[in-house]
Amino acid sequence: MGEIQQNYRKRKTIYLGLIAALFAILIAFRFIAPEGEHKVTSLEAMMIVSLIGIVVAIYAVFRCPKCKTALVPAYSASWGKLNHCPKCGVNLSGK
Ligand SMILES: [Zn+2]
C-alpha cells in the first residue's frame, strides 16, 4: 500500500468518526431540547456550534491526498466505495 492510500485511509477514519459524532450530537439534541417554542439555551448553542465545527472539519479533513479535492460528495455518491479521486483519478483504495 502506497503513501496516498495510507493517507486516504487515515482521512477516511477521521471522516467516519466525525460523522458518528455528528449523529450522536443530533440524537442527543432531540432528547435535550424541550418541546415547543423556547429560548435557545447555552447548551443548545454549544451543540449548534460543535455541529458547524464538525461539518467544517469533515470538509477540511476528507480531501484527496494528492490534489486536495473535497471527497465528501463523491464518497457519499459512491456509497463508501470510492476507489479513485474524481478529479485527478489517483487510486485511493489500493484496489
Ligand atoms: Zn485527487
pLDDT single digits (tens) 4-44: 999 999 999 999 999 999 999 999 888 877 667 777 788 88
Q: What's the structural domain count of the chain?
A: 1
Q: How far apart are CA 41 and CA 37, in angstroms?
A: 12
Q: Write the CB contacts of 56 (distance below 8 Å, at least 6 apart in sequence).
A: none
Range of the domain at 16: 3-77
From ligand 1's centre to the CA of 74, what distance in Å?
A: 11
Q: Is 91 helix (H, G, I), strand (E, B) or coil?
A: strand
From ligand 1's centre to the CA of 23, what distance in Å?
A: 28
Q: Is residue 63 part of a domain?
A: yes
- At 83 the pLDDT is 95
State the cell numbers at 69: 479535492
Q: Is residue 23 part of a domain?
A: yes
Q: Is residue 86 part of a domain?
A: no
State the cell numbers at 13: 477514519
| Phi and psi, residue 84, nearest 5° | -130, 150
Place of cell 464518497: 75
Q: Is residue 93 part of a domain?
A: no
Q: Which of 71, 20, 17, 58 is nearest to 93 (CA)?
A: 71
Q: Is residue 19 part of a domain?
A: yes
- At 34 the pLDDT is 67
pLDDT single digits (tens) 46-62: 989 999 999 999 999 99
**Amino acid found at 46:** M
From ligand 1's centre to the CA of 66, what distance in Å?
A: 5
More confident of the two residues 38 and 90: 90
From ligand 1's centre to the CA of 20, what distance in Å?
A: 25
